Each structure stands twice: as C-alpha cells, then as structure tokens.
A and B are shown apart, each in its own frame.
Chain A
Amino acid sequence: MAWEPHMFKELHQIPREEHVFPGTPLCAGCGGLESLRLASKVLGSHVVYVNAAGCFTNLAAFPFTPLDASWLYTTMGSAPAGAQGVRDALDVLIAKGRLPKEEDLKVVVLGGDGSTYDMALSSTSGAITRKLDFYYFCYDNEAYGNTGVQLSPATPYGARTSTSPCGVQHPAGTTQEKKDIFEIWRAHKPPYMATVSPRFPLDLEEKFARAEEYRGPKLFLAFAACPTGWLFDPAYTPDVARLAVECGLWPLKEAINGTVTHTYIPKRKPVEEYLKLQGRFRHLFEPTRQDEAIRHIQARVDDYWKQVNG
C-alpha cells in the first residue's frame, strides 16, 4: 500500500508560527536544528523538552533560550527517565486537581545520536517498556559532535572521525557499521516511529501530526547534516540532506505498531554523489580512490532497498 499524506500535501499548509527562534549558539547550517524547528511547528509550545547532553544542550544557555517551551537538562544517560518523571508528575498533579488539565504538556526527549544509540539506550528501553507517553527526538549527526566529532555507534562505515581516523591499518576510517537503532526500537513495539529529513518538510510535518494520534513512546530519528563535523560548507546542508535520501542512505520511513512503510522511494543515485560532498569521506577519493570501500557502502544500500522492494 502506497503511503499517503493526509494533513500536509502542500508547503503552505505548514504552520507559519515559529517556536524555535533565531539566535541559538548552534553551528551555522545545523541540520538538526532545522528538523527541530520544523517539528516544533506541529508540536507547538505546550511542550517540555527533556534534554540529554549533546549539541542541543547549547540551545538553552543561561539566561537565554530560543524556545517558547519548557526545558529540563538531565544527563546524557537518562533523559527518557527524566521524561518519565515529568510525565508521571503531570498526570498525578492533574489527577489530584493541583494542575488544571489545560496546563498539560507534551514531553519530548531531545538527544543526539551519542546519547540515543549509546549511553541512554538502557534508559530508553525502560521508558518504551513502561509505555511512557513521550516523543523521542534524536538529531542524528552520526558522531559525538559536541565534543569535537568522535566515533559514535551512529557513525557510518568509511566516515572519518577524530577517534576513527584513516590510517595505515584502517585506510577507510570507521570500520564499524551504523547501529540500527530504528530496529532496536521496533523490537520494543512502540506505537509510532519515523525517520525524517528537513529537506522533506511535508513528510516531516505529516509524521509529527500522525504521531499525535498515538499514546506511548514515539520515536523521531532526524537526519542532522553537520557542516562542522562532516566538513562541508554550511551552504550545502540542504544538498547533503537531500542526497542522503536520494542516494538511499537515509530511508524515509514510518512504523505504526511495528508495521514499516517507506514514505518515499528514491530512484537512488550512486552513493558517491553524497560521499563526495563531505570532507569526512574525502579519503575515499583522494589521494587514491578506495573503490572497495565505496563499493561496500553502495552494496549495503543496495541490500537494504532490495529487502524493502523485494
């Protein structure tokens, strides 16, 4: 069955209201921020963001915040547990009549890939198992970005990071494969999950709007092109984000009660087009071209889509 958007079919349907205002200390061209800004247009301002250590921790730097919503910085390993405490307390206070129902908030965890894929995985697993009603927004820039771009379990094969440099032993850089956090989440059977890219804003808005219908854990994996870490000019953030999808590296999909639907089937350009734009993959092309590594990356993508398309 083909995926059909119901609420967002044209750009003018995207709310004009802003909830993430300009003037944040994040890097120029941050793809994660672009996703958050779009997401907040559907989430609105009746939100408490429960933040884990990462780039987005810099969003609220005393005394400023670019959000018209609430904010709680927890720890790197336990933002979902923080969300649990907030959600439970709101429920209890409303049930006991100490907080009017109209004061209720959506609880949104904000975590980078380091926290999401690594340190907070145990805490996340607990929150999903307890069927916590919350959104998990992961801005995935495929590295520990805030500390200077080190290897994370989200780092893709072949990318160079400051702790997986390309050298004599590993000329291709990162030799591990990106952890499939989507499937790890899916095994927990949450009601709603999606991957999003800010270059596909209608798809993104549609998914946030759909998620609203489900009570329980809701995952959003947002592609976060990172000029600082991936070594490209911030002006190219939109191109990098678009090519990740068009080359098949960042599949746009949704899983409702475990059933996966791809929301966009790319014609699939060669992965080279995506890789070539970024300094973190430059060693695959110069001084000598590493055909085997590039083929490996292409083969992984092909395998993925073969399994999708049958």
Chain B
Amino acid sequence: MNQTNQMMTGNLAAAWGARLADVDYVPAFPITPQTEIVETLSKWCGTGALNARFVTMDSEHSMMTAAGAAAATGARVFTATSSQGLLHAFEVLYTVAGWRVPLVLVNVSRALASPITLEPDHNDVLAARDSGFLQIHAETCQEIVDSILMAYRIAEDPRVCLPVMVNLDGFYLSFTREPVILPDPRMVQAFLPAYRPTHLGFKASSPRALGTAVLGGATYSYFRHQNHLASMNALLVHEEAAVDFERLCGRRYDLVEGYRLDDAEDVLIMTNAFASKGKAAVDVARAEGKRVGLLRLRVIRPWPADAIRHALQGRRAVAVLDQNLSPGQGGILFQEIAASLYHEALRPRALCSFIGGLGGKNLSEGEFRAIFEQTAEAGVRGKGIGPVLLYTEMEYREMEQLQYLAHDLKTGK
C-alpha cells in the first residue's frame, strides 16, 4: 500500500488526521494558531474530498457541546481549538467526558491571557488534565497525523469510550513545515474500522437518556470511578494500538519516548515540540562526554506512571522542564513526576524543576547546558533544586528597557 510523503504544517497534518479518520462531523470556531485546521477541513467538506458536515459555531463553548452531542448521537466527530478557546469550552470538556463520547479534539497550545500572546506554552492543555479527556502530546507533524488516528482507535475502544485531546505546539508545529508520510486510506481502514457504536445514539426505536442528574454522592462516585477506570484502561489499549499501528505503518509510538537513555546517569524530562530542542542539547552534551538522556512524555492522561518509573529507576538525577507555570507552586508535570517516584526504592537521588519556554520563549543551548550542569551537581549532592525559571540576565535587561519606554510614553516625556 502507498504511503505518500509531502511537506506540511502541523495544522495541515491535523486536518489530514481527521480526513484519514473519515470523520462525519466537524463543528468549528476560529482561533489563532488553530485556524488553518478548520479552514482546511471546511474546504475539503466543500469539495467533497471529505464526506462530513462542517458547521461554524458561535463559540468554543457551543462548538464543544455540538461536538459532544453529535458524538452521543453516533457520529465520528473532530474539532480543534487553542488556548483561551479551550478554556471557554472548559465546562463542556467535563460534560462530554462524562457522556463517555469518543471524539477527538486537537488543541494547538498557546499561552493564556493575561497578558495575551499567541505563542505556546502548556498551561492551556494541562489545565484540562482533570477533565476526563485523554491527552496525547505530539512532537512532530508526523506524530500529529499518526496520533489522531491512534486517538480515534483508543477513544472508540469499548474499554475506554472517552474523548481524546491531541496537543501540538502553536507556531513551533502549527506553522512549521516538516516532511509527513500520509498513510494509505486502506491502511487506515485496517487500523481504524468504521465507527458503529452500539452503546450510544439517539433514535426513535430506543429512547436513551444521557447526562441525567444523579442525586446522591454514591451514584456520582460510581460514574466518576468508571471514568477513572476507563482512563486507566487506555494505557493497555494504547499499547495494543501502538503495536497495530507499527505493524501497518512502520512507526512506533509509546506512552513515553526515551532518547539516549540506555546508560544515562541524568535524565531531562520534556514534552511536545520543544523536546526536539532538548534532544539536540542531549546530543551536544553527549559529544562532551556527559551521560545524559531525555524522556519525552507523549501521553499525559492517563498518566503513564509505570513507564515513567521504569525509565527513571536508578538514575542519578532527573530534571523536569515544565513549559507551564502554576503560580505559587511551580511546574505542573514536576509535581506528577515527583509523586510517581516517591515510593520507588531506586528513585533518583535528586529531582530538579525547571520552567522554560513560556509564551514560546526560546530555550538556548546555554540554558540546556546550565540545566545539565545544575542537575548533575544536584545528583552528586543528593538534593534537588527549583523551581528555576529560565530567564537570562540579557533578557531581563531588555525587559527593563521596554518598561522604561512604556513609562516614558505614558508620562509624555
């Protein structure tokens, strides 16, 4: 079977993911840097290249509701958003996850207001980590297409029946062209059969009630627990899907990805597109003789605790580079990594927390060098550090200059 290779942006790759999954319905609402996805799908629905209904909604809140409701009616649904849009849809994320509908939502990460900006960090997507959606975080344009196909396969599995969010970084992936191999549609069909739900759907012959009120904590607890168990089931279902996907397409995606980990003393943990920068930094450090490696978290919900423990067992020190900030606490993923390692007898001697790349701020070779050096020292001392916000003296001075200008203009000097 043919797989075609072409250059495409992350957004176009996301649209191709939906097209190859042969979705039925795309409710949409524009937001930068996601717009190219819905523009592309709108065009394809218009030409018939994709046999789906495309509807422009009045907000992300409505968009998410329509998406969930259509999935509850039995259609295969795709939609996409970003940043403030995801937050606007937030109430509905919990609602549709509670409906246990297997739709796929692509989030193009963009930092949150205020102040408003367009470039990425992960405070948008990580805010949704408790919503009941599963989360897959892509590093490359290729991984976006493949992850969307895997996402439908996992979401629609009877052991899971949960919506999935596939995350990609705004600008760093959304508008970056990379070579992408598109799987042959017949290959996709073998991996992702047509969606024919039996547990969902509204029809005249068999009335159904969904999302009904539960008056009493015990009933509520039961449903929430089922949601949790279904999410945990996705760990196994993901593995099965990864095996099948590799067999058909030759590309393998695990819950976590190790990079030069085999003999690494110290490990840097990252997610998403900036992990490519991290891998390059590992290469540089390795050339200098440092025994470092990188662990990229690909699936964040369900939390792949065992895979993380396994990868970090016996290491000297671990640095978590969070591209997010929980003010008053620090990095979000650092907390989860720490929690996963607490009971490990062979846990690393030191855990270090770094925060960088906020609002798309670059991570330089020098910053990675500093991370590796400080982490190694922490490992020797046996005492972790952080949270350390990566910010250079030069950047600080430039910011002071801007504040000086802003003040000048305001006072009319």
Contact = CB atoms under 8 A, between A and B. Distances in A.
Contacts of A98: 74, 196
A92 B24 CA distance: 7
B69 A93 contact: no
Contacts, number: 168
B55 interface: yes
Among A67, A81, A92, A126: residue with most chain B CB under 10 A: A81
A82 interface: yes
B62 A78 contact: yes
Given A93-B24, A126-B57, A99 B70 contact: no
Contacts of A68: 207
A161 B67 CA distance: 37
Contacts of B1: none
Given A81-B63, A84-B66, A122-B59, A89 B27 contact: no
Interface in A128-174: 129-130
B202 A105 contact: yes
Among A70, A71, A73: residue with most chain B CB under 10 A: A70
A86 B213 contact: no
B58 interface: yes
Contacts of B59: 122-123, 126
B65 interface: yes
Contact of A50 (B55, B69, B75, B99): B69
Contacts of A222: none
A116 interface: no
Interface stretch (A56-64, A177-185, A241-249, A279-287): A56-64
B374 interface: no
A71 B203 contact: no
Given A126-B59, A130-B55, A86 B212 contact: no
Contact of B211 (A67, A74, A84, A129): A74
A229 to B, nearest CB: 19
A90 B73 contact: yes
Interface string B115-136: 0000000000000000000000
B357 to A, nearest CB: 33
B260 interface: no
A202 to B, nearest CB: 28
A18 interface: no
A152 to B, nearest CB: 20
Contacts of A83: 69
Nearest to A125: B58
A192 to B, nearest CB: 21
B202 A72 contact: yes
Contacts of A70: 202-203, 207-210
A104 interface: yes
| Size bin of chain B's contact surface | 35 or more
B65 A73 contact: no
Contacts of B67: 85
Contacts of A81: 27, 57-58, 61-63, 65-66, 69
A24 B209 CA distance: 15
A81 B196 CA distance: 23
A61 B208 contact: no
Contact of B66 (A71, A73, A82, A129): A82
| Size bin of chain A's contact surface | 35 or more
A105 B95 CA distance: 23
A102 interface: yes
Contacts of A303: none
A85 B208 contact: no
Interface string B11-31: 000000000000011010000
A278 interface: no
Nearest to B223: A62
Contacts of A51: 211
B212 A82 contact: no
B55 A84 contact: yes
A294 B165 CA distance: 56
A88 B74 contact: no
A85 B213 contact: no
A91 B55 CA distance: 13
A85 B204 CA distance: 17
A6 interface: no
Among A74, A96, A126: residue with most chain B CB under 10 A: A74
Given A84-B55, A89-B69, A123-B59, A73 B25 contact: no
B290 interface: no
Nearest to B69: A85
A286 to B, nearest CB: 38
B287 interface: no
Among B55, B77, B204: residue with most chain A CB under 10 A: B204
A50 B68 CA distance: 12
A75 B92 contact: yes
B65 A85 contact: yes
B72 interface: yes
B62 A123 contact: yes
B73 A85 contact: yes
B69 A86 contact: yes
A103 B212 contact: no
Contacts of A125: 58
A88 B63 contact: no
A71 B53 contact: no
A71 B212 contact: yes
Contacts of A75: 61, 65, 91-92, 95
7 contacts: A60-B212, A72-B72, A75-B95, A86-B70, A86-B72, A88-B27, A102-B204
Interface of A: 45-46, 48, 50-51, 57-58, 60-63, 65, 67-75, 77-86, 88-93, 96, 98-99, 102-105, 122-123, 125-127, 129-130
Given A46-B204, A73-B210, A81-B62, 4 more contacts: A65-B209, A75-B92, A103-B205, A127-B58
